[in-house]
């Protein structure tokens, strides 16, 4: 945490001024985040596969978006006035599906079918199968380009819809991310917000060991983006920064959300083994029960 604070102090381009959100709202969303984490544990355990660590790390970001910030209508997924969300880190599909189901895009019962044959819930998001998914993703590095294209499309059409893309920090190794970043800057596309799930982990281990991305904020700044840095597990911070980032936009914005891989489950937290691994059934049930208790305390 000391490291995080230091990082925030050194690299923040813009300070998040405090926007008031009621404690009731924050608590309600925190409960939803626990529910999504429970569903992720069940889904990956049921499927006996799936990316547990990187799903758990981005839950709070998804909750802040889908249950407060994003303009969308689960009853009408193709509503023309909706904001767009692209899950560029497609392997966080369990977190995405649980969030969509909880929002009402499809029944929660369907979550248990993830990765099964004939399911609408593929291992990675498939826009032709799953309500609420805008674009198929999974091959890393591609979602930000699509999001930037959407944002440009809205500007061309004279519309105000906003576009969000969530990328992993490991995903930022991909060159296409930076192609998209320079494109957004060149064409002065401001109706886009990129979110980085900065969990410091990737398939082969710690990001710092595999392919270090520091100085990350400076990279985005150099590409012409405004950078916000926050604690990606603080719902309050997330709500604040999402609001704040909408004011006086002159540049595309990236929110670097400092997160922990496997967040919310002590066994998995920060454990590199759980990038693409799940919990055995019995342990999963135990974890789900513990999370339930935590929800009650909130």
Partner 1 sequence: MSSTQLISTRDAFGEELVDMGKEKENIVVLSADLAKATRTSWFARAFPKRFFNVGIAEQNMMGVAAGLSTIGFIPVVSTVAIFAAGRAYDQVRNTIVHSGFNVKIAATHSGISMGKDGSSHQAIEDMALMRVIPNMTVIVPADAPETKRVLRAAIEYKGPVYIRLGRPEVPVITDEKSPFILGKADILRKGNDLSIIACGIMVPQSLKAADVLASRGIKARVINMHTIKPLDVEVLYNAAKEAGAIVTAEDHSIIGGLGSAVLEAFSCKEARPPVYRIGVRDVFGESGEPDDLMRKYGLSWQDIVKAAEEVLSLKEG
Q: Which residues of this chain interact with partner 1, rule CB under 8 A?
A: 84, 126-128, 134-139, 141-154, 156-157, 159, 163, 175-176, 179-180, 182-183, 186-187
> Taking the complex as a whole, how short is the minimal distance between the CB of residue 183 and partner 1, in angstroms?
6
> Taking the complex as a whole, how short is the minimal distance between the CB of residue 7 and partner 1, in angstroms?
29
Closer CB to partner 1, 107 or 175, in the complex: 175
Asked whether 76 and 104 are in contact (CB, 8 A), the reply is no
Closer CB to partner 1, 27 or 186, in the complex: 186
> Taking the complex as a whole, how short is the minimal distance between the CB of residue 193 and partner 1, in angstroms?
14
Q: How far apart (Å, rounded) are the C-alpha atoms in residues 38 and 87?
A: 20
Closer CB to partner 1, 54 or 141, in the complex: 141
> Taking the complex as a whole, how short is the minimal distance between the CB of residue 159 and partner 1, in angstroms?
8
Ramachandran region, residue 190 (left: φ > 0; alpha: ψ -120 to 50; beta: rest): alpha
For 266, list phi and psi in degrees, rounded to 5: -55, -40
Asked whether 49 and 124 are in contact (CB, 8 A), the reply is no
Helix spans in the chain (H): 2-11, 23-47, 52-56, 59-64, 93-103, 143-156, 175-186, 207-210, 216-222, 235-244, 281-297
> What does DSSP assign to residue 251?
S
Closer CB to partner 1, 20 or 129, in the complex: 129
> Taking the complex as a whole, how short is the minimal distance between the CB of residue 163 and partner 1, in angstroms?
8
Closer CB to partner 1, 134 or 240, in the complex: 134
Return the structure tokens found at 140: 């890393």
Return the structure tokens found at 20: 């008031």
Closer CB to partner 1, 157 or 218, in the complex: 157
> Taking the complex as a whole, how short is the minimal distance between the CB of residue 117 and partner 1, in angstroms?
18
211-218's contacts with Cβ under 8 Å and 24+ in sequence apart are 211/170, 211/173, 213/169, 213/172, 213/173, 215/11, 216/11, 216/169, 216/172, 216/256, 217/11, 217/12, 217/13, 217/256, 218/11
Closer CB to partner 1, 45 or 142, in the complex: 142
Asked whether 227 and 7 are in contact (CB, 8 A), the reply is no
> Taking the complex as a whole, how short is the minimal distance between the CB of residue 148 and partner 1, in angstroms?
6
């Amino acid at each position: 945490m000391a490291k995080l604070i230091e990082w925030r102090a050194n690299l923040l381009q813009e300070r998040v001024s405090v926007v008031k959100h009621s404690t009731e709202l924050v608590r309600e969303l925190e409960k939803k985040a626990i529910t999504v984490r429970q569903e992720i544990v069940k889904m990956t355990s049921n499927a006996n596969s799936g990316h547990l660590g990187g799903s758990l790390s981005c839950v709070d970001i998804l909750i802040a978006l889908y249950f407060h910030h994003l303009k969308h209508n689960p009853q009408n997924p193709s509503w023309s006035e909706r904001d767009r969300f692209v899950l560029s880190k497609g392997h966080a599909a369990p977190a995405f599906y649980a969030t969509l189901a909880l929002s009402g895009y499809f029944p929660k019962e369907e979550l248990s079918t993830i990765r099964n044959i004939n399911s609408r819930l593929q291992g990675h998001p498939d826009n032709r199968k799953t309500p609420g998914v805008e674009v198929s993703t999974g091959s890393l590095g591609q979602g930000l380009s699509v999001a930037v294209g959407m944002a440009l499309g809205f500007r061309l059409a004279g519309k105000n819809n906003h576009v969000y893309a969530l990328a992993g920090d490991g995903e930022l190794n991909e060159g296409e991310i930076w192609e998209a970043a320079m494109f957004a800057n060149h064409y002065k596309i401001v109706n886009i917000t990129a979110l980085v799930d900065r969990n410091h982990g990737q398939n082969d281990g710690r990001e710092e060991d595999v392919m270090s991305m520091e100085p990350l904020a400076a990279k985005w700044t150099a590409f012409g983006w405004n950078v916000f840095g926050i604690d990606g597990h603080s719902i309050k911070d997330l709500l604040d920064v999402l609001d704040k980032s909408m004011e006086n936009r002159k540049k595309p914005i990236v929110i670097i959300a400092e997160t922990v891989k496997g967040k919310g489950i002590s066994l998995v937290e920060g454990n590199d083994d759980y990038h693409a691994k799940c919990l055995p059934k019995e342990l999963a049930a135990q974890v789900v029960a513990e999370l339930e208790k935590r929800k009650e305390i909130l």
